Amino acid sequence: MDESYTSLPSSHLLGSVPAVVSEEKKTTNYEVPEANLQIFPPAIGADRGHGYQSLGSLNGGDEQQATNNWKGLFSISSYTQYFNVDADIVVDRIIGSMNPTSGNFFDKIEANPDLYGLIWISATLVFLLASLGNCATYLIHKQTNHSTSWSFDVSYVSVAACTVYGYVLVVPTAFYFLLQYLGISASLVRFWCMWGYSLFIFIPTSFLLIIPVELIRWIIIILVSVASACFVTLNLKSYIQGNDLMLMLVSSFVLQVALALFIKIWFFP
C-alpha cells in the first residue's frame, strides 16, 4: 500500500478517539456594569434626557408619590389619586368611623387616603340638613298650629353648606398648621379624610331628629356628638402619640360637640 495513504490523519474517522489536550483555563474577571433601570414615559415637564424616573424612586413613600402625581392646582388629574377607592374600601372606612373607640382609622387610610368623605359625605349631609331640617320645623309647628302650611326655607341650604364645608375644611387645616408649627409631622390629606368620614354619623342622625319629641332629639344628639367627638379625639391622639398635646385633643373634642349642637339648634329647633 502506498505510504501516502497510511499517513493520513485519522482523528476525523468514525470511532477514532482524539487526543486529550490539556489546556490551562484562563479566568477573566468581568465586572457587570451597574444597571440604571428607568421608567417610561419620562416625567411630564422634565428636561429632555433627565425626565426619566429611576426604579428606586418608586419606594420614596406616599408623600413623594403624591408630589409626582401633582400636576397643578387647577388640574383635575392632580386630584384623581385621592378618589382611587372602590366601594368596599369606602364602606369599610364608613364602618370604622361609626366605631368611636377603635382609634385606628389612620391605619386604615395610611396607604391610600381619600377625599370621598370630604366631598361626598359633606354634600350628602348638606342636602339632608336642608331638607330634613325644613321637614322637622314643619312638624313642630304643625303640632302647635294645625293650620300651618308647608314652606321650604332656602336659607337652610346656604347655612348647611357654609357650616359643613367650613368646618371640614378649616378645622383640619388649622390642626395641621398647628402641628407643623410645633414641629410634628402631619398630613393634611389624612386629616381631611378623617374629619370628612367623622361626619357620616350625622347622616342617619338627621333622619332620627325628625321625631317631633324634643327630649328624644336631645338624647340622640348628645349621644351622637359624644361618639363623633371620641372618634376624632382618639384617632388624633393615636396620630400624635408621644407628644403631650392634651389641650389640642380637648379642643378637637369640643369642636366636634359644638358642631353637633349647632346642627340640633339651628336645623332641628
Tens-binned pLDDT, residue by residue, of the chain (269 aa): 555 555 555 555 555 555 554 555 444 555 555 545 444 444 444 443 444 444 443 334 444 455 456 555 555 666 677 677 888 988 999 999 998 887 788 888 888 888 888 899 999 999 999 999 999 888 887 888 777 788 888 999 999 999 999 999 999 999 999 999 988 888 899 999 999 999 999 999 999 999 888 999 999 999 999 999 999 999 998 888 767 788 999 999 999 999 999 999 999 98
Q: Give this prediction's pTM.
A: 0.71
153 vs 139: CA distance, rounded Å: 14
Q: Please report, as a single letter, which amino acid is at residue 37.
A: L
35 phi/psi in degrees, rounded to 5: -75, 140
- Between the CA of residue 141 and those of 1, 135, 210, what are the distances in Å? 136, 10, 12
Longest dimension (CA), the chain: 142
CA–CA distance, 43 with 261 (Å, rounded to integer): 49
Phi-psi region of 13 (alpha: psi -120 to 50; beta: other; left: phi over 0): beta
Cα distance between residue 71 and residue 76, in whole Å: 8
Q: What is the length of the chain?
A: 269
Q: Are 182 and 198 in contact (CB under 8 A)?
A: no
Domain ranges of the chain: 114-267
For 176-211, b/e burial (b = at least 16 CB within 10 A) is beebeeeeeebbebbbbbbbbbbbbbbeebbeebee
